[in-house]
Structure formats: structure tokens, C-alpha cells
Structure 1
């Protein structure tokens, strides 16, 4: 029976990974499956409170963050939120040391399945030792996974044959058999991704997991990524099961975030419906001073109402905004420093558009409210998500100059294109259609809809076959 199943989940140490794994835990628990969600102490503390009715099904397992000898992680750093991009290699190395307490946990608990993220490849050997099947849960888009390709093309001779250089990443790979613009651009973008993913060790990690797992579960839907899901199953030669969007289960709470946020929401309540652009680049993409200035001037030039959640690099000064920006946009926009209650902001009737990095989680949160999207991809899978959303008619992408940089003029043009042009109206219609479809197939009273039900059935059948 489903209630007898026990699944151990191992997300990577990034909020964009932890939170979807938490939402998957809730969805599985609603279906009667017992879940152990494993991370470090501080990261577990960052998760939302468990719904009381599911607390008996979910065990939040908190291991102390291992100390990396010779590393240079800041004190208390346990997630990508806590560090700059140049420290992420050390974070991954420290996170890999969780393999030791994880192995002991598996020996003690003997779960029926282990669900791993795309980075903790050390979980594969442990699962093999205890003869426990593994599924990979991908929190990135199917389009990104299809672009990265099958394991045999991520490293070694297979990589050299299909992707011999950064330039080879500037067009869709040969296994994409339908019109697509999901690829990187020339110059810095191509070089950065090539040497980070394919030559930087990530491809080897991801490839090991994809090669060894029994099935890939993916936070997506056929309604948006149907063709990519089909190709992904074909190139991996194993089942690929979308589990739906896994929307946040708790709709926006009361405004209990403090006096400053109360003032912010009061300001939002006074704006016209669908008139305000929310600007947010998440916890991983901490903006430099130059990037902040271009965005600020772009917002100023656009003449649109905005709410900006601003997170900057740790070594940047607090006075990072242009001196005249606050005065020039007074009454038309607000800037909020640090963390923001993004889901509640996006749910406000005044929000009509979102300027963001095209992170998959942020896209899903926007999809829930049918916002017009303006995308400025910075790193990693954001590049591919942006192309996908433009292809689907759901977004406008800010153009980059020859150096790959986003300028104030391009930002202003894209903002107005999405918010006040006829093309923007068409994006709004497409977004509304996508949101309506998502609401049907991810209905929360149906354990997040038919997608999660199909995945649960696969897990049950897999255990029945082994027995």
C-alpha cells in the first residue's frame, strides 16, 4: 500500500532546489507516502512549517553542515543564498561530505526509493550498495535537460563529437527534431556555460545520476513542455514523468512580515490592477553595481510603476542605487532590500508583469497569476528557460549587447513592449491560457493533479515489481 512506502529525498543546497523538493514532499505525503527530506540544519530551518495534517508523513532530517578542510566558505554558509558564485565550488565540495551521514541514515531506515537532485551523484553508489532504486527529481526545465543531452554526450569522446567547442552550443543539439531557439548565444555566454557545465565537472555529476536512475521525475507539464519531455525520454531511454508545477500549497498568508512590508502592500493596494512590474532576481543572482544601475535607469526610462526586491553582492555598498533614482521615481516605484515575500507580492492584483532572471521556480510562481514576463537570464538554466518562454509566446527577452550585457535602453524597451504594447497584450492572453491549463492539471485538492497521481503509481508499481 502507498502508506507503507518510504521515500528519501536529497536536494542540492540551493533554495531553488530545496523548496521544490519540499513541495514534492508535501504532494507525496498527501498521497499517503512517508517522506524523509534530507539537508543541513540551517537549510531545514529555512523551509516553511509543515502542515499539521502531514507532519506524521514527513520527516525533516537535518545533518550538520560538514566542515571543508582548506575551503573558504563564510561562517554559517549552507546554501547558494549565503555565498557569491565564486564560492559555489567550495559549497558543492562541503555538501558532498553529507554522503557519510546519508549512508548511515539509509542503513538505518532502508527506504523503498531514494529521490536525488541532479548534483548529489554520491547518492548513486550508496543506493547501489543497499539495492535501493533511485529516481532523479529535476527542478530545472525539460528544455534545459534536453539541451544538455544524454549522459554519453556530457563528457569524454561523446562530448568532443557532438560539442567540440563553445561555438557548438549556439544552436539546438541534433536530437531536437522540432523548431526551437533553446541554445546559448555567442561570446561570453557560450564560453561560460561550456566551461562551467561540460568542462567544469557538472556534466559528469549530472550524467552519472541520469545514467543510473530508474526514472526521471520533472517539475513540468506537457501543456508547456510536451515536445521536450518526449525527446528527453527518448535520449535518456527511460521513463520521464512530469509531476506538475507543484505550486506552493499554502496560498499567500496574512501580511505578517513587519511594518515595512505592511507599508509596501498598502502601496500596492492603491495601484491600478495589473499595472505594476515586480522586479526580482532571486537569492542566487546577486547583482553587481553596474547591473543595478542599468536596471534602475531602465525602470526610470520605462515610466512604469514597479516594485523592486533588491539583493546585492555581499561586498557591494548599501548606496548602490544611482543617486537620483529614488527621487526621480518617487510615488511610481518602491525598492525593498533583501528577502521579499514573492508569492504574496505576485498574488497582489496590482502586479501585472515580472522582470526576472527566468529561473524555473520564479516562472512557475508567475504562471500561477498569469503575469507578463520580461526575462533577463544571468546564469545556468536561466538561459534556456528564457528562450523557451519566448518561443512559447509567454515572455519578452531583454536584448544583450555585443559583450552580453543588458543596457538600460534595452530594459526600458522590453518593459514597455510587455506591459503596454499589442505584443504585450498577446503575451497576456497566452499567459492566461497557460495559467488556466495549469490550474486544471495541478488542482491542489487532487494531490497536485493527475501528474503526481501517475508518479505515485509508478513508485508503487516499482516496489511491487521488486517484491
Structure 2
């Protein structure tokens, strides 16, 4: 007779960015809902207060654990997530995050979870968890092709600690090295950085005000974890997943694309949705361009103007979700834009329910920064992507999707990343209207068979949890 399955206690500890917090929470909800394991979701008080409502059917299994974020010089009061601060202040948020080491250790010691699912930032966590007998799983909200581009962690860690004048021939020390596929990718690929993106990337390899580089954090955590979970699936990037497993030498487990459930939005904001839906209902099916560049992207005033004027020139109906940037920097719309586009376009400055908007039948395309979670949401509904990446993984995600002809990137100058209103207009019309853009619209619709297949995606979570269960059984019996 089979032994009864032990209920696991799993702690979940994301980095302080909502682009990480929400997928980590989604994973926790699915583990609780499908397998009945107990979840402790750990973050700071203000971030936990801003989470969407936990569905009643899983709420008894999920404990929200609020840790006090230490006060740090240069970090504004109540700033507890990247969306609360401008980019130049994020290193101070990392200092505060590192200050969670003691309260997190105390929580782990008193609650004794079986596993902790963690992010890239807490480079100090693996030895603490190992000492307490807690198994570690790194969860990457980035896709496998992005992870492969950076290569084997041991190689990268040695590069980030390099002190000699003669670096290992396999390391990448020059900007030009990031403009071509790395030598460890054995198949043809066009997934590379542009020069203007590589310049920004180099900032992440340098030690910042927190005392260590992001690269060092990531590689140290990689080398201290036991399982690498990743927000993707075999149907989307099998060859990259296989390659990443070979590079890492520990189990690499896709957890699926974690599509959010539409009924789990912020219920108290339904009146907002009603007002948006009323406008969308009046538009033709598939005609509207939805524009949203995420809560952390802050284009220059010039880029912002060119995007706005390109939208106006396109003559397409648009809904622009334009959140005020953190730190209060003001970016002005071109004079008279809202009057000239009245009725055809809406610039919405409050909270907007992205998932519901993308799901509305009048929306046909999505101007996006190519954050992997935004891409995931759009493809559930087969929306064609008009891609405008800015930071981090976004450029590589855009190239990955271009290879698959599932989106069109707005052309930019290689050196500085600038673009014109005309290039915005032409790309919008290609993606939304022109005959030669039909291939992109068709491919985006094809994506719904994978991204929109909830049962397929949920099976990945089930397999991941089975691995967690089996691993703990081996340890317990051992």
C-alpha cells in the first residue's frame, strides 16, 4: 500500500519587483490549489498589502508573511518595490532587501519549511537555508533563451571576480561580445543584444551601491540552489530548455507560463474596468492597439513624444495605459494630442486591468516592452505584438519572438536606441493592417494553443511539485 503523501510547507521569497512578485504568487497559488501544499509567501508589509486578493478556495493554505523592510539612507519612505523608485535608487532597495537576511532567517528557523523558492537577489540565502536543512529552488521569471545567453554560472562567476589582466578566453569582457551569439549555443540564433542595450547591460555587471553586482547575486544563488524552476514550457522553447539544463548541471524544470486567472483581479476596482470596457465595446473587433510599457519603464521625453506622435499618425484606435513613473519625474504628452485623438484614442493615467483589456475582443495588437509576463498575457488571447524593449531581458525576448514571427520590433538606431514617429506608425500599420503583416497576426493567434491552454500549463506545475515531493522524501528517508 502506497504511503500517504506528506503535505509540504513551502516558503516563497521573491525580489521586490511586482514583475517578480506576481508570478511567484501565481506559482504559490497553483501549488496550493492543485496539490494542497502549505505556502508561506514572504515579502514586505506594503508589498503584501498591494497583492491581488487570494481566492477563497486556496486562502486557508496561503500565509502572507510580512517582514519589516529596514530603513536605508537614500530610499524614500514607503518605497518597498522597484515601481516606487527611479532606476538610480534601486541599488538602495537592494541594500534594504539584504537587510531582510536576519528577519527571514528567524522566520525560517521558527517555521521550518521543507523548501524555499527564491529569486536572484538574496545571494546570502543558500547557506542559511542549507544550515537549517531547507531545500532550495531558484525560480526564474525570465525565459530559457535569455538564461542561456548568459551561460554557465561557474564561468560567469569567475568572470565577475576576475582580477588578472588576462581573462579566460571563454569569458565576455567587451561590449562587442554581447552583439553575437555566445560560443556555447550550438544551433543558429539571432538572439543577441543591440549596441545600445549592451551598454545598459554592462551596468548590471558592475558593483553598485549595494556592494555587489546583479551578476554576482544571480550566479552565487545559481550555484547554491538544488533545482532551477523557470517560467516557460517545452512547446515554446524546447532547444533552449535542453541547452540550459546542460549548462547548469542541476535539474532545470519548466513550471509553465503561469497564465493569470481573469476572475482573480482586484475586485474593488471593477468600476475602473466598467469605464474602460464601455469605450472598448464601441470599437471594431481587433482594431484597437493597447499600449503599456510596464510600471518600471521610463522612456526619455523624446522617445515618449515619438511614440505618442507615431500612435497619432497611425490613425488606429488606441488605449494607452500610462502610469505615472516612480520618483515623480514628469513626462509630458505632445501638446494637443488628447484633443486631436479624442474619441479614437484614450490616455489612461490610473490603474488599468491589463489582463481584462487584452482579453477584450476589440483589442488586436499590443505595444509592449516585452516583459515575459506581459508577452504571456498577450498570447493567451492571440494579440500581435508591436515590440519596444528597453532593459534587461526585454531585447532578447523581442529577438526570440521575431525569430518565431510572432511580433514586430519598432526599428531603432543601433547606437543610441532612438526611434522616430514614422517608424512607430509603419510598424503599427504592418502589425495591425497591412497584408504583409498577416504572418505576424496568424502566428500570434497560433500562440493561443500553447499560452491559452490552461490544462497544459497546469501540468507543468504538477510535475514541478512532484519533483519537490520526491526530493524531500529521499532526504527524509536518507
Range class of TM-score, shorter chain: over 0.9
**Structure 1, residues 347-395: CA drift from partner, whole Å, max 9, x if none?**
1111110001000111111111110001111111111111111111111
Whether 2:144 is the aligned partner of 1:136: answer: no
Displacement after TM superposition at 1:153 (Å): 2.5
Cα deviation digits, residues 95-132 of structure 1 (max 9, x gap): 11111111001111111111111222221121121122
| Contact residue 369 and residue 435 of structure 1 kept, 8 A | yes
Q: 1:460 and 2:469 equivalent?
A: yes
Aligned to 1:166: 175
Q: Among residues 236, 246, 254, which one is paired with 1:234 in the alignment? A: 246
Over 3 Å counting, the alpha-carbon distance change for 1:173 and 1:254 in structure 2 is closer
What is the CA–CA distance in structure 1 between the aligned matches of 2:63 and 2:338, rounded to whole Å? 46
Counterpart of 2:17 (choices 14, 18, 38) is: 14
Once the two structures are superposed, what CA deviation does each residue of 1:69-99 show, in whole Å capped at 9, x if it has no partner?
xx21111100011011111000111011111
Q: Per-residue CA shift, 1:377-424, capped at 9, x if unaligned?
A: 111111111111111111101111142112212111111111112343
Work out the CA distance in 2 between the residues paired with 1:194 and 1:288: 20
Matches within 5 A, 1:70-89: 71-89=73-91
CA drift at 1:144: 1.2
Q: Give the counterpart of 1:342 among 354, 373, 378.
A: 354
Q: How does 1:425-440 map to 2 (within 5 A)?
A: 425-440=438-453
Matched with 1:179 is 188
What is the distance in 2 between the residues matched to 1:416 and 1:252? 34
- The corresponding residue for 1:59 is 63
TM-superposed CA distance for 1:182, in Å, is 1.4
How far the C-alpha of 1:142 sits from its partner, in A, is 1.0
Distance 2:426 2:249 in 1: 43
Is residue 26 of structure 1 aligned with residue 29 of structure 2? Answer: yes
Q: How do 1:294-333 and structure 2 match up within 5 A?
A: 294-313=306-325, 314-317=327-330, 320-333=332-345
Shift of 1:252: 6.9
Summarize the alignment of residues 247-262 of structure 1 with structure 2, pairs less than 5 Å apart: 247-251=259-263, 257=269, 261-262=273-274
- TM-score normalised by structure 2 residue count: 0.92
Aligned partner (choices 81, 84, 93) of residue 95 of structure 2: 93
How many pairs are equivalent? 459
Contact 1:255 1:261 in 2 (8 A): no
Q: CA deviation at 1:219?
A: 0.8
CA distance, structure 2, for counterparts of residue 39 and residue 2 of structure 1: 29
What are the residue-to-residue correspondences of 1:148-227 with 2, within 5 Å? 148-157=150-159, 160-161=167-168, 162-186=171-195, 188-197=196-205, 201-227=213-239
Q: Distance in 2 between matches of 1:35 and 1:54?
A: 10
Aligned to 2:389: 377
Structure 1 SS opposite 2:299: coil
- For residues 100 and 451 of structure 1, do their structure 2 counterparts lie closer, same or farther at Cα, with a shift above 3 Å needed? same
Q: How far off its partner does 1:177 sit?
A: 1.4
Gaps of 5+ in 1: none
Cα shift at 1:259: 5.5
* TM-score where L is the length of structure 1: 0.94
Cα deviation, residue 260, structure 1: 5.8
Q: What is the CA RMSD across the aligned residues, in angstroms?
A: 1.9
Q: Deviations over 1:28-82 (max 9, x none)?
A: 10111111110000001111111111112111111121112xx211111000110
Instruction: Give the conservation status (yes or no) of the 8 Å contact 1:287–1:312.
Output: no
Cα 1:250–1:307 change in 2 (3 A) is: closer
2:400 pairs with 1:392: no
